[in-house]
Structure 1
Amino acid sequence: MKKIFLFIAIITVASTKFSLAQSKTDKALNQVLSAYFDLKNALATDKQDLAAEKAKTLMVTVDAVPHKEFPSDQHKLWMEQAALIKAKATELATAKDIKVQRKAFEGISYPMIKTLRSIKFNTSTVYVQHCPMAKASWLNEKESIENPYYGSMMFECGDVAETIKAK
């Protein structure tokens, strides 16, 4: 009988520790997603200097993700995608032209989309949107289109390609 109680206690502690670790990583990943949205919004509203700042913030939030707590397959995916995100965020932050920033943003968007689809950490609904003119996709926190690839020139160009429901 004591062995059964001990076993149940161990299982309870282990599952609690896992759920706390999972919520900590989910929180960190949602901060990455929020930083990504801030960057997308800066580009959609043609704010080049703000976009550079938001790209730096994105890099910091990516570095803050406690990735060692992921299961091995998710850890491998995160490490690959995080490297791509940081490389393109660095490129975006140092770019002197908004067109170059927007091209770098495309290189951030695809790893973000792949990560979100694979790990499913979002606490609210996220929309994958696509611009046929730019031939590129991005994530949006709103269903209405806010095109980061053309900004005010074609703010509403695009469509919702996919809806990723909250976890």
Structure 2
Amino acid sequence: MKNIKSLIIALIVLTSSTQIKAQAVTTSTAVNNVVTAYYGVKNALTADNNNLAQTNAKALVAAITAVPMDKFTADQHKLWMNYSTKLQFDSRHISESSALDHQREHFTSLSKNLSELVKGLKMNTAVIYEQYCPMKKATWLSETSDIKNPYYGKQMLTCGKVTETLNPVTK
């Protein structure tokens, strides 16, 4: 009986500490988690992997919904509200479609909106490269300066150029 009580108490303590840690996520960490999840979608499209793009887009939706909006400043909150719905819309479409061309179509607006959000919030903790595909006339964000085109994948993997470098924000 003592072992069961000890086990229950241990589970309660573990659950409580996990909830406290979950509440401690900062807006900066949460926004950077969104960017990292976006990279997963981008890298899947670069590899022409529609199934992985679907899976990673679901993770992106989860990362977007996990952002603690109540911790933003008023200006940040307004910016987040302007873009988060658009990001969720495109992420959800990518996650629900197995057609690579349809996924890439939504990736175009996803990339544009995330770029505007990241530039406005100024919370990135790592360098972000904005890259441009002249064939698609669209941009995407990358964690590396190497060009790996998500719009054409293996067909034209190195088509594009870096147009802007967003350095990490230090506070």
Task: Give the TM-score taking structure 1 as reference length.
Answer: 0.85
Which position in structure 2 is the counterpart of 1:147?
Answer: 149
Equivalenced residue count is 147
Match of 1:160 in 2: 162
Q: Deviations over 1:68-94 (max 9, x none)?
A: 111111101101211000001111111
1:101-136 superposed Cα distances (whole Å, 9 cap, x missing partner): 000111111111001111111111110000000110
SS at match of 2:48: coil
Matched, 1:106 2:100: no
- What is residue 50 of structure 1 aligned with on the other side? 52
Q: Distance in 1 between matches of 2:98 and 2:147?
A: 26
**SS, match of residue 150 in structure 2:** coil
Q: Measured at CA, do residues 24 and 135 of structure 1 come closer, stay the same or move farther in structure 2, by a change above 3 Å?
A: same
2:99 equivalent among 97, 100, 103 = 97
Residue identity in the other structure for 1:149: Y
CA distance in 2, matches of 1:96, 1:22: 36
One-letter amino acid matched to 2:121: I
- Secondary structure at 1:162's aligned position in 2? strand
Q: Deviations over 1:134-155 (max 9, x none)?
A: 1100100000011110000011
Question: Distance in 2 between the 1:92 and 1:103 partners?
Answer: 9
d(CA) in 2 for partners of 1:86, 1:107 = 11
The amino acid across from 1:96 in the alignment is: S
TM-score where L is the length of structure 2: 0.83
After TM superposition, the runs of 4+ consecutive aligned structure 1 residues lying more than 6 A away are none
Q: Secondary structure at the residue paired with 1:111? A: helix
TM-fit CA distance, 1:96:
2.8
Other structure's SS at 1:152 match: helix
Say whether the 8 Å CA contact 2:64–2:84 is kept in structure 1.
Answer: yes
Q: Is 1:24 aligned to residue 26 of structure 2?
A: yes
Unaligned 5+ segments in structure 2 are 1-22
Between the aligned partners of 1:55 and 1:82, the Cα distance in structure 2 is 14
Matched, 1:72 2:48: no
Report SS of the residue matched to 2:158: coil
Paired residue type of 1:37: Y
